[in-house]
Amino acid sequence: MTPDWSPGPHKLFSMGDRQTTSPINIRTSVLIPSWSAGSITLLGDATHTMTPGQGVGANTSLRDAARLCSGLIRCVRSDTTLLEAIDAYKEKMVRYGF
């Protein structure tokens, strides 16, 4: 599966014990249709699975949490309703999370 890769990984692969390795399928989310905001929402891998490469999943989960927290603070300050805050979070998250 790696004939076009540089020689470094090939050497590493050749040093591995085939008895202790197995393939792992890594998938990422596909865009889903928009949904109505409710009093329960999702963030991080619960809504948009990211590959573990380069910490993208963790970074995206933290971005989700920060964005949702900002919306909830606006709700507590009476600048918006709970459902408006969750819907605003969801709409932005869908743009960068998928």
Model confidence at 39, in pLDDT bands (50, 70, 90)? confident
Residues with Cβ within 8 Å of residue 61, at least 6 apart in sequence:
43, 44, 45
Extract long-range pairs of 81-85: CB within 8 Å, 24+ residues apart.
82/39, 83/37, 83/38, 83/39, 84/37
Return the domain boundaries, the chain: 27-97
Residue 83 has pLDDT above 90, yes or no: yes
Model confidence at 55, in pLDDT bands (50, 70, 90)? low
Question: Which one-letter amino acid corresponds to residue 40?
Answer: I
Residue 27 has pLDDT above 80, yes or no: no
Helix or strand or coil: residue 67?
helix
Q: Is the pTM of this model over 0.75?
A: no
Res 53: pLDDT: 67
